[in-house]
C-alpha cells in the first residue's frame, strides 16, 4: 500500500519550514479538537487542513505561550496555548494546540517569536561560557550569522566537530538555562533581514536583537570650558579599557572595542581640539572626556585622524 503524499501550504518569499507534524487544535475551550497538520516556519505558525490553511499566525503577532493540561480524547494531555494579536473588534485571540514533542515546538516558537536578546542577556549567557565559546557567541552577536569554517578560523579550532561540540554541549545548554531555549540555530537557507540576501548553511543567533542605544535615550552634554572642551556622555556595558577615541578637527568619535559591544557615537564639538593630553574618567556608566583646544591651526593644513588608546 502506497503512503499518502503529504501536501504543504504555499510559502511566502524567504519563508522556510522549521517544524511540521500531525496535531490537533481548537480556538474555543468548549469546542472539540480538530485534527490537522501543523507547520512552523521562520515567519508563521500554520494550521493546515484539507489542502488549505485554516489558521495562520505571524510570529511577530504572538504575545505569550503557556502550557496547560486539557482533556484530549479520553485523558488529559499537555496543550500549548498561543496568545496572539487580536483581530479588529476582538479583545484577545487564543489557540490551543497539541502535538508530539510539544516541548520542542514551544521552544522553537518562543525562539522565533518572543526571544529578545540584548547586551545584558548576552553578558548573562557568556558569564557561564569558556573563552572560546564566548568568542563564538560574541562574533554571532556582531555578525548575525556565520559558516562553520568562519567560526573555526575565529578560535583556531582543530576541526569543525570542535565548533559543533561548543555549540551543542556548551553554548546552547547555557543559553537554555538563562533564556529558556537555545540561542544558536543551524539554517540550511535563510534570508538575512538586514541585507535581504539568502544565506546558505550557516549558524544564526536567534531572537530579536536589541543592540543599539537609541540616540534620543543617550545622555550627552558638551561644555566649552575656555581652554578645553568637556564631554559627558552615558555609556553602558563597557569599561574604560574597552574604549577608543578618534579625533579629527572638531569631530570626536567614541567607540568600544569590546567584542560584542556596539557603541559608536560621533560627536561634533564647538571647537577644534588637540588629541594630546586628553583626560578620561568613567564612573557609574558616565564617561567624562576633557580635550584641550587647538589655539592656532593653519587653514590649509591637513590633520589626519588621531587615535587615542585609553585604559592604559
pLDDT per residue as tens digits for the range 19-71: 999 999 999 988 999 999 999 998 999 999 989 999 999 999 999 999 999 99
Q: 116-210 with 215-309: one CATH topology? A: no
Question: Are 308 and 247 contacting, i.e. CB atoms less than 8 angstroms apart?
Answer: yes
Q: In what order do the strands lie in the sheet with 93-99?
A: 52-58, 44-49, 34-41, 17-26, 93-99, 75-84, 62-72
pTM reported for the whole predicted model: 0.63
Residue 16 burial (CB < 10 Å; 0-12/13-18/19+)? middle
Q: Examine the pLDDT at 164 and tell me if it is beyond 80.
A: yes
Give 190-219 pLDDT, tens digit per residue: 878 777 788 999 999 998 876 554 445 568
DSSP reduced 3-state for 112: helix
Q: Examine the pLDDT at 165 and tell me if it is beyond 80.
A: yes
More confident call, 242 vs 186: 186
Domain limits, the chain? 17-113, 116-210, 215-309
- Helices 119-126, 172-179: crossing angle, 10 deg rounding: 120
Residue 90: pLDDT band by 50, 70, 90 thresholds? low
User: So what's the architecture of 17-113 in CATH?
Assistant: Roll (2.30)
Question: Are 247 and 273 contacting, i.e. CB atoms less than 8 angstroms apart?
Answer: yes
Question: Are 93 and 82 contacting, i.e. CB atoms less than 8 angstroms apart?
Answer: no
pLDDT at 87: 73
Identify the residue whose cell numbers are 583556531. 156
More confident call, 296 vs 277: 277
Q: Which of 101, 103, 65 is nearest to 82 (CA)?
A: 65
Residue 250: pLDDT band by 50, 70, 90 thresholds? confident
Q: Give me 21's grid cell.
A: 507534524
DSSP 126-160: HTTS-HHHHHHHHHHHHHSEE-HHHHHHHHT-SSH
Was domain 215-309 assigned CATH 2.60.40.790?
yes
Q: In what order do the strands lie in the sheet with 220-224?
A: 220-224, 228-234, 286-292, 279-283
Residue 142: pLDDT band by 50, 70, 90 thresholds? confident
Report the mean per-residue pLDDT for the chain.
Answer: 85
Q: Taking residues 119-146, what's their average pLDDT?
A: 91
pLDDT at 300: 42
DSSP 217-281: G--EEEEE-SSEEEEEEE--S--GGGEEEEEETTEEEEEE-STT---EEEEE-SS-B-STT-EEE
Residue 91: pLDDT band by 50, 70, 90 thresholds? confident
pLDDT at 211: 59
Was domain 116-210 assigned CATH 1.20.120?
no
Q: Within a 10 A sphere around the Cβ of 59, how many other Cβ atoms?
A: 17
Most confident of 117-126, 153-162, 223-232: 153-162
Strands (E), 31-183: 34-41, 44-49, 52-58, 62-72, 75-84, 93-99, 116-118, 145-146
Amino acid at each position: 500500500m502506497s503512503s499518502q503524499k503529504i501536501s504543504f501550504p504555499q510559502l511566502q518569499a524567504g519563508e522556510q519550514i522549521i517544524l511540521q507534524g500531525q496535531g490537533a487544535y481548537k480556538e474555543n475551550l468548549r469546542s472539540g479538537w480538530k485534527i490537522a497538520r501543523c507547520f512552523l516556519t521562520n515567519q508563521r505558525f500554520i494550521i493546515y487542513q484539507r489542502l488549505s490553511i485554516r489558521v495562520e499566525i505571524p510570529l511577530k503577532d504572538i504575545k505569550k505561550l503557556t502550557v496547560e493540561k486539557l482533556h484530549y480524547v479520553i485523558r488529559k494531555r499537555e496543550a500549548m496555548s498561543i496568545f496572539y494579536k487580536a483581530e479588529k473588534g476582538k479583545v484577545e485571540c487564543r489557540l490551543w494546540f497539541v502535538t508530539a514533542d510539544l516541548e520542542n515546538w514551544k521552544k522553537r516558537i518562543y525562539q522565533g517569536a518572543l526571544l529578545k536578546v540584548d547586551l545584558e542577556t548576552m553578558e548573562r549567557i557568556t558569564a557561564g561560557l569558556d573563552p572560546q565559546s564566548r568568542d563564538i557567541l560574541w562574533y554571532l552577536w556582531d555578525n548575525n550569522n556565520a559558516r562553520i569554517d568562519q567560526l573555526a578560523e575565529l578560535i583556531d579550532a582543530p576541526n569543525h566537530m570542535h565548533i559543533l561540540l561548543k555549540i551543542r554541549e556548551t553554548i546552547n545548554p547555557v543559553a537554555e538555562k538563562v533564556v529558556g531555549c537555545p540561542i544558536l540555530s543551524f539554517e540550511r537557507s535563510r534570508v538575512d533581514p538586514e541585507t535581504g540576501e539568502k544565506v546558505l548553511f550557516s549558524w544564526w543567533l536567534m531572537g530579536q536583537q536589541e543592540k543599539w542605544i537609541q540616540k534620543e535615550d543617550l545622555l550627552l552634554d558638551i561644555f566649552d570650558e575656555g581652554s578645553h572642551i568637556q564631554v559627558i556622555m552615558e555609556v553602558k556595558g563597557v569599561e574604560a579599557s574597552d574604549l577608543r577615541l578618534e579625533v579629527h578637527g572638531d569631530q570626536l568619535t567614541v567607540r568600544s572595542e569590546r567584542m560584542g559591544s556596539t557603541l559608536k557615537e560621533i560627536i561634533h564639538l564647538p571647537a577644534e581640539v588637540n588629541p594630546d593630553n586628553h583626560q578620561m574618567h568613567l564612573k557609574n556608566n558616565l564617561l567624562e572626556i576633557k580635550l584641550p583646544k587647538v589655539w592656532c591651526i593653519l587653514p590649509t593644513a591637513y590633520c589626519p585622524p588621531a587615535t587615542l588608546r585609553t585604559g592604559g
